[in-house]
């Protein structure tokens, strides 16, 4: 394959990977920025989403059906978690949030192990999307991956509109800045925060579901994605959704190209990027609050 | 002068000394050695988290770096002097702490937690995915370092009981060293930084330098623990750099009681004993395989209900400056 | 307080009581936050033995000004000189080490430490000795002496072993000042030291400030007008980030612009 085609493929792969990271990182940065909670278990939702998709897809034969069943479950999980535990930790030191969510990771991992075992599972790409379209005369690209990117972009757009252009978005932003004031204005902060958390969980889980045919379903997938998303949030700036988008794309492209052209240190590229940002802009590229 | 914690520690020390001498089994001697090494690890983290207020989630990086340095410095079958491998391991940790600390200390709060984790992951990656140090399977160390030089031997670390007492002496030494440092100008400044960093800067302290000093010292002490661990088990694998390890030592710290120095020792003991308990299939049968579920549940309970740890149940937090022992 | 003859309203007066050249010279200092000019071209001079009070309505930029002088906030323009040294770009710890002490409007102490430890830490910054890790912090007699002197000056003796969070509000404000005194400063920047104080505590604070005049150059930001006129040698009135007028208290009282903009409205303040 010629170089141009190769680069084009990697470009598309990098963007697709970056957009997927964005889905997970957006939830993470919102929860950090709005509620001030650090949630190590966020990667576990990605993993749980993927496993749920696999389970229901195996039962029903359709990935789409599986996703439609799993998303409400993810939202329910998010709401339950927030109500039971997370909300009691909003005012507490980050240290205890770290500890709590670390314990949750262990619980989630073992629960998954109990329910679905520890094996790597595969999901087949839905037949309707399981083909490639030609991009040039020598090269074609999987439609499923293009669809993934399109879906992620749509969600990014929807988030932008929601946060910037609606009353709910305004309330969310207000709640982030000044909790007491927003409550005094009669807005139900508790409900708001619960929703934000649940949406964050659902986004991460959905990302896992979406990625599962491509990346397979395996136990460590949550941890891997989490660390990278931490770096995305650090680079993009806490609380900034568009920062997360830019940073996620940057990292997605850097990792993808790194793996092709510099395989030995591909894994390090992300951390080197982070180190560079720390040197020049320790608050991230687009720090909001 | 009868501080309940001090009494507790003294009793524990006596028990620890007496244990192998009164015929404790080899299994428990080894287990306690492992616990005491983790106590050193936890104390080093207490310096950083409990006393300086820097919540690091990447402390396992130093633990692992020191362990792997031993592997790299002593790759063959002939043991080398501890006077070569130990300083090398500690130096590697110090340099890594200096370089990453300078970067990491530009951030605060949530950012700090995340970047320390990320740097530890970087170290994990280096040992997991590159040929340096044997990859994901880990690597064996073929001989224990010699305490001596050329033909002269002071101690034989291959003897379990000797190793036990050496580790115990080091644990006590680290405790006393940190106590002393925390009572010094440097230590008081760290504690001031934890309580009110902004005011410390306003009254004239170059806060960054103090934090970096604490970060390096904590890293070096964590390295000591990692080195001893490699020395004890003669096996090193990248999982000791995983964030499970960083999370576990944080748990030990909080379980025992943060900011007390005795807390991490207690925490290490209780944590390891609980881990052994949860893993015991005579108690939990087939479910023991999923001991991490119980451990996770315990961690959640501690986060919810035991913020001051076990030591916090025993004594009121030592208020700085109160006329107790310093006069 | 001698009253100098008529002179340009923008310059600060040099009363006969002070001695020597100005220890701090602020020239055209400005601070911009995006589109907002919080402080605009402020100039003033501080002399040892003199209390220079900055007054103005809320939002006039007084705290922003003090934040720039202490190094807590970087300036957007202008210059701050300490003697013949330009300190405009220096961080707050360096400014402190050069002899500028600052107290905060919102009490900014170490709540879990004792009163003495609060001051001892501040005094320690003068002789930090961070490398002497085996010497106990309480074994530095000079540091302890400086701390105790600051405690005494702020009239907190007898309270040394109390935990700071257990002090009354007024005592905490005294501790706030004691801490800045314990850094042995030449210049004292006091941001609303009387904040939240009752009549008796305020009177004591006024006495303290007058006591501190000798040996220090004091810049005071305050709202309490009785206190202001009881201590001020020079007054600068700020409105919307600019200096409206500057001069002796009598001059300021008589200035019609000031009366209109601020002093007339003083009854509205709490």
Chain B residues in contact with chain C using a Cβ-Cβ cutoff of 8 Å: 180-181, 183-189, 192, 195-196, 198-207, 209-210, 213, 319-323, 326-327
Longest dimension (CA), chain C: 63
% of residues, chain A, pLDDT over 70: 96
Could you identify the residue written with the tokens 């040197």?
A279
Per-residue pLDDT reduced to its tens digit, A23-50: 999 999 888 888 889 999 999 999 999 9
Structural domain tally of chain B? 1
Question: For domain C12-99+185-270, which architecture applies?
Answer: 3-Layer(aba) Sandwich (3.40)
Q: Which residue has the higher pLDDT, C265 or A96?
A: A96
Please report the pLDDT score of residue A262 as a whole number. 79
Chain mean position to CA A76: 18
| B291: nearest CA partner in chain A | A110
- pLDDT grade for A263, boundaries at 50, 70 and 90: confident
Domains in chain C: boundaries: 12-99+185-270, 111-183
Q: Give the best residue of C125, C129, C138, C150 to mutate against chain B (max B CB count within 10 A).
A: C125
| B293: nearest CA partner in chain A | A107
Evaluate whether residue B97 is within a structural domain.
Answer: yes
- pLDDT grade for C261, boundaries at 50, 70 and 90: confident
Please report the pLDDT score of residue C4 as a whole number. 45
Evaluate whether residue B81 is within a structural domain.
Answer: yes
Q: Exposed, middle or buried, A120 (CB in 10 Å: 0-12/13-18/19+)?
A: exposed
Per-residue pLDDT reduced to its tens digit, C104-127: 999 999 999 999 999 999 999 999
Evaluate whether residue B27 is within a structural domain.
Answer: no
CATH code of the domain containing A51: 1.10.3470
Checking if the pLDDT of B325 tops 70, the result is no
In this complex, do B106 and A278 lie within 8 Å of one another by their Cβ atoms? yes
C-alpha distance from residue A223 to each of A249, B135, B222, B315, C5 (Å): 20, 19, 24, 38, 76
- pLDDT grade for B234, boundaries at 50, 70 and 90: very high
| Average of per-residue pLDDT across C59-66 | 90
Chain C residues in contact with chain B using a Cβ-Cβ cutoff of 8 Å: 70, 72, 91-94, 96-97, 102, 104, 108-114, 116-117, 120-122, 124-126, 128-138, 140, 161, 163, 179-180, 182-183
| Average of per-residue pLDDT across B20-40 | 91
Tokens of C200: 């008796």
DSSP B147: E
* Separation in Å, CA of A22 to nearest CA in chain B: 17
Identify the helix (H) or strand (E) that includes residue C115.
helix C115-124
Checking if the pLDDT of C10 tops 80, the result is no
User: Can you tell me the distance from the alpha carbon of A225 to that of A220, in angstroms, rounded to the nearest whole number?
Assistant: 9
Please report the pLDDT score of residue A260 as a whole number. 83
Which ranges in chain A belong to alpha helices (H)? Answer: 3-35, 42-60, 63-84, 94-116, 143-165, 167-177, 179-184, 189-215, 221-236, 241-261, 266-280
% of residues, chain C, pLDDT over 70: 90
Domain that holds residue A232: 3-119+133-280
Please report the pLDDT score of residue C8 as a whole number. 40
Per-residue pLDDT reduced to its tens digit, C84-109: 899 999 999 999 999 999 999 999 99
Evaluate whether residue B309 is within a structural domain.
Answer: no
- pLDDT grade for B39, boundaries at 50, 70 and 90: very high
Chains B and C touch (3+ CB pairs under 8 A): yes
Checking if the pLDDT of C17 tops 70, the result is no
- Rounded to two decimals, the ipTM of the complex is 0.88
* Contact (Cβ atoms closer than 8 angstroms) between residue C88 and residue C80: yes
Evaluate whether residue A230 is within a structural domain.
Answer: yes
pTM of the model: 0.90
Of residues B110, B125, B298, nearest to A94 (C-beta): B110
Please report the pLDDT score of residue B105 as a whole number. 94
Of residues B106, B113, B297, nearest to A107 (C-beta): B297
% of residues, chain B, pLDDT over 70: 95
Of residues C72, C111, C163, nearest to B202 (C-beta): C72
- pLDDT grade for C265, boundaries at 50, 70 and 90: low
Dihedrals φ, ψ of A287, to 5°? -55, 130
* Separation in Å, CA of B212 to nearest CA in chain C: 12
User: Can you tell me the distance from the alpha carbon of A198 to that of B325, in angstroms, rounded to the nearest whole number?
Assistant: 51
Of residues B103, B107, B122, nearest to A268 (C-beta): B122
User: Can you tell me the distance from the alpha carbon of C42 to that of C76, in angstroms, rounded to the nearest whole number?
Assistant: 12
Q: Exposed, middle or buried, C229 (CB in 10 Å: 0-12/13-18/19+)?
A: middle
Domain that holds residue B40: 32-241
Please report the pLDDT score of residue C225 as a whole number. 87
C-alpha distance from residue C64 to each of A70, C30, C155, C194 (Å): 53, 10, 29, 18
Evaluate whether residue B318 is within a structural domain.
Answer: no
Please report the pLDDT score of residue C18 as a whole number. 56
Please report the pLDDT score of residue A177 as a whole number. 66
Evaluate whether residue A126 is within a structural domain.
Answer: no
DSSP string, B115-146: HHHHHHHHHHHHHHHSTTTTGGG-EE--SPPB
DSSP string, C50-111: -EEEEE--TTSSHHHHHHHHHTSS--SEEEEEETTEE-TT--HHHHHHTTEEEE-SS----T
C39: helix, coil or strand? strand
Checking if the pLDDT of A216 tops 60, the result is yes
| Average of per-residue pLDDT across B59-86 | 92
In this complex, do C113 and B213 lie within 8 Å of one another by their Cβ atoms? no
Please report the pLDDT score of residue A133 as a whole number. 83
Mean pLDDT (chain B) is 89
| Average of per-residue pLDDT across B273-290 | 86
Using an 8 Å CB-CB cutoff, list chain C residues near B176. none
Per-residue pLDDT reduced to its tens digit, B94-120: 999 999 999 999 988 888 998 899 899
Identify the helix (H) or strand (E) that includes residue B293.
helix B291-305
A117: helix, coil or strand? coil
Please report the pLDDT score of residue A252 as a whole number. 93
Per-residue pLDDT reduced to its tens digit, A163-190: 888 887 887 777 666 666 777 777 777 8
In this complex, do C130 and B189 lie within 8 Å of one another by their Cβ atoms? yes
| Average of per-residue pLDDT across B68-80 | 90
* Contact (Cβ atoms closer than 8 angstroms) between residue C168 and residue C200: no
Tokens of C189: 């920047």
In this complex, do B304 and A100 lie within 8 Å of one another by their Cβ atoms? yes
In this complex, do A38 and B103 lie within 8 Å of one another by their Cβ atoms? no
Using an 8 Å CB-CB cutoff, list chain B residues near C91. 201
Structural domain tally of chain A? 1
Please report the pLDDT score of residue A176 as a whole number. 64
Please report the pLDDT score of residue C19 as a whole number. 64
* Contact (Cβ atoms closer than 8 angstroms) between residue C54 and residue C221: yes
Q: Which residue has the higher pLDDT, A210 or B315?
A: A210
């Amino acid at each position: 394959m010629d170089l141009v085609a190769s680069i084009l493929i990697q470009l598309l792969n990098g963007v697709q990977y970056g957009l997927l990271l964005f889905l997970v990182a957006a939830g993470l940065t919102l929860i950090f920025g709005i509620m001030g909670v650090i949630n190590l278990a966020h990667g576990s939702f990605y993993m749980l989403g993927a496993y749920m998709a696999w389970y229901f897809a195996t039962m029903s034969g359709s990935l789409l059906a599986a996703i439609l069943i799993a998303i409400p479950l993810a939202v329910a999980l998010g709401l339950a978690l927030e109500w039971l535990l997370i909300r009691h930790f909003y005012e507490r030191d980050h240290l205890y949030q770290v500890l709590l969510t670390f314990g949750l990771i262990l619980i989630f991992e073992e629960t998954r192990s109990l329910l679905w075992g520890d094996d790597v599972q595969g999901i087949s790409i839905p037949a309707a999307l399981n083909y490639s379209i030609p991009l040039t005369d020598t090269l074609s690209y999987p439609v499923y991956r293009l669809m993934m990117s399109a879906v992620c972009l749509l969600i990014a757009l929807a988030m932008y509109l929601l946060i910037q252009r609606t009353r709910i978005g305004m309330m969310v932003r207000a709640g982030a800045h000044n909790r007491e004031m927003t409550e005094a204005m009669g807005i139900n902060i508790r409900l708001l925060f619960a929703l934000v958390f649940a949406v964050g969980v659902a986004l991460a889980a959905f990302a896992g579901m979406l990625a599962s045919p491509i990346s397979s379903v395996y136990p460590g997938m949550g941890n891997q994605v989490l660390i990278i998303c931490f770096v995305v949030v650090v680079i993009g700036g806490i609380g900034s959704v568009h920062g997360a988008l830019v940073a996620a794309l940057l990292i997605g492209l850097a990792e993808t190209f790194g793996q092709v052209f510099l395989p030995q240190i591909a894994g390090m590229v992300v951390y080197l990027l982070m180190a560079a940002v720390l040197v020049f802009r320790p608050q991230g590229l687009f720090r909001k609050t | 002068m009868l501080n309940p914690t001090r009494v507790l520690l003294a009793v524990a020390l006596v028990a620890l000394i007496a244990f192998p001498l009164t015929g404790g089994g080899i299994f428990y001697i080894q287990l306690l050695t492992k616990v005491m090494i983790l106590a050193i690890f936890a104390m080093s983290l207490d310096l950083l988290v409990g006393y300086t207020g820097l919540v690091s989630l990447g402390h396992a990086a130093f633990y692992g770096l020191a362990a792997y340095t031993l592997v790299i410095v002593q790759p063959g079958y002939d043991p080398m002097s501890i006077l070569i491998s130990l300083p090398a391991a500690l130096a590697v940790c110090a340099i890594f702490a200096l370089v990453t600390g300078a970067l990491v200390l530009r951030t605060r709060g949530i950012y700090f937690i995340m970047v320390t984790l990320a740097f530890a992951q970087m170290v994990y990656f280096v040992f997991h995915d590159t040929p340096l140090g044997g990859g994901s399977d880990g690597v064996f160390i073929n001989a224990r370092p010699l305490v001596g030089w050329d033909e002269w031997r002071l101690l034989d670390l291959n003897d379990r009981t000797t190793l036990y007492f050496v580790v115990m002496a080091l644990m006590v030494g680290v405790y006393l060293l940190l106590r002393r440092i925390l009572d010094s100008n440097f230590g008081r400044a760290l504690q001031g930084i934890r309580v009110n960093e902004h005011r410390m800067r306003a009254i004239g302290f170059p806060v960054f330098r103090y934090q970096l000093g604490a970060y390096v010292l904590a890293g070096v002490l964590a390295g000591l623990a990692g080195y001893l661990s490699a020395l004890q088990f003669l096996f090193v694998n990248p999982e000791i750099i995983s964030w499970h390890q960083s999370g576990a030592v944080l748990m030990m710290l909080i379980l025992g009681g943060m900011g007390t120095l005795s807390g991490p020792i207690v925490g290490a003991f209780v944590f390891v004993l609980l881990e052994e308990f949860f893993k015991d299939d005579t108690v939990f049968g087939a479910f023991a395989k999923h001991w991490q579920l119980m451990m996770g549940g315990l961690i959640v309970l501690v986060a919810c209900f035991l913020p001051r740890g076990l030591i916090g149940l025993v004594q009121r937090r030592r208020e700085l400056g109160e006329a107790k022992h310093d006069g | 307080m001698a009253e100098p003859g008529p002179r340009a309203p923008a310059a600060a007066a040099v009363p006969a009581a002070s001695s020597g050249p100005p220890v701090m010279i602020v020239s055209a200092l400005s601070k911009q936050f995006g589109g907002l000019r919080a402080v605009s071209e402020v100039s003033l001079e501080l002399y040892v033995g003199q209390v220079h009070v900055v007054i103005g309505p809320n939002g006039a930029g007084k705290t922003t000004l003090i934040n720039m002088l202490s190094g807590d906030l970087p300036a957007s323009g202008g210059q701050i000189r300490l003697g013949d040294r330009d300190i405009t770009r220096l961080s707050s710890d360096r400014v402190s080490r050069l002899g500028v002490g600052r107290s905060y409007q919102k009490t900014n102490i170490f709540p879990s430490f004792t009163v003495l430890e609060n001051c001892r830490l501040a005094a320690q910054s003068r002789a930090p000795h961070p490398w002497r890790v085996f010497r106990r912090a309480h074994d530095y007699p000079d540091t302890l002496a400086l701390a105790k002197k600051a405690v005494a000056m702020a009239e907190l003796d007898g309270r040394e072993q109390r935990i700071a969070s257990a002090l009354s509000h007024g005592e905490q404000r005294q501790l706030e000042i004691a801490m800045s005194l314990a850094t042995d400063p030449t210049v004292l920047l006091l941001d609303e030291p009387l904040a939240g104080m009752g009549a008796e505590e305020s009177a004591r604070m006024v006495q303290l400030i007058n006591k501190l005049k000798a040996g220090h150059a004091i810049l005071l930001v305050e709202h309490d007008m009785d206190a202001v006129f009881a201590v001020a040698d020079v007054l600068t009135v700020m409105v919307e980030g600019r200096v409206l007028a500057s001069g002796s208290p009598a001059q300021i009282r008589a200035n019609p612009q000031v009366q209109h903009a601020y002093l007339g409205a003083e009854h509205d303040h709490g």
